[in-house]
Amino acid sequence: MIRFENVVKKFGERTVLNGITFSVDAGEILFILGTSGTGKSVLLKNIVGLLRPTSGRIFIDDEEVTHLSEEEYLSIRKKCGMVFQHPALFDSLTVFENIAFGLRRHYQLDEEEIRRRVARVLGLVNLPDVEERFPAKLSYGMQKRVSLARTVAIDPQILLFDEPTTGLDPVTTNTINNLIRDLSRTLHTTSLVVSHDMHCALAIADKILVLDKGSIVAYGTADEMKRSTQPLVKDFLQEALELAKTH
């Protein structure tokens, strides 16, 4: 579903992605881990064309997207749903209107169908009966779930999560991670999760990719990560172990 071939991304003299090569199969959940400033979010933005590679090639659903024009990229973006660190909901709109916004923009649907879809996705994120509430009346964790519902409402084939559990308590973090897993399985989406949380990655990822200074230092399954001797991976594993002890 997604393939990077020797992708380099530079900002002036600074190299943020340094010859990245990996692939994600349809339906897989890939966690992308790394310390701050290692290019994790830049990698996601290259998928949706918000940034373009300096060199190398990116394929989405077997189509090379590296040199597409802005107009040509629109059909690619329709396949992708992106969930950012912050919910970014419209404060002046109800939950229903927030979710319906993308449906009205992307599809020609009657109001009854929009209502049905909104109810469906709110059910998927375990938030029934909140359609008429405003974001300010919801907890931060609930706002995150509404943001997730809004993203999956347009039926993306690819879900991209940029630090989705930042600022959440451990219980809500667990809820969001379980939702990512359940939604990916239920909707058969390919999911990429930018994170610094090895504990969550080990629990729900099919594959884990670890970036350091713009290069891939480890890539494999949870079991392969647990056996890794790579220093940064060992640091992440130690952190995950400490976290498991405290909960």
All structural domains of the chain: 1-79+192-247 (3.40.50.300)
What number of CA atoms fall less than 13 Å from residue 31's CA on the CB side?
Answer: 29
Q: Write down the pLDDT at residue 169.
A: 82
Q: Write down the pLDDT at residue 172.
A: 83
Q: Write down the pLDDT at residue 242.
A: 80
Using alpha carbons, select from 181, 195, 180 the residue that is nearest to residue 145.
180
3-state secondary structure of 65: coil
Strand partners for 60 = 2, 63
Distances (CA, A) of 65 to 2, 5, 6: 10, 12, 14
Residues of the chain with pLDDT under 70: 246-247
Q: Write down the pLDDT at residue 166.
A: 79
Cβ pair 161, 196 in contact under 8 A: no
Q: Write down the pLDDT at residue 85.
A: 82
Which residues have a Cβ under 8 Å from the Cβ of 169 and sit 6 or more positions away?
A: 141
pTM of the model: 0.89
For 143-160, the pLDDT digits (tens) are: 999 999 999 998 899 999
For 24-61, the pLDDT digits (tens) are: 999 999 999 998 888 899 999 999 999 999 999 999 99
Using alpha carbons, select from 184, 107, 90 the residue that is nearest to residue 146.
90
Q: Write down the pLDDT at residue 247.
A: 61
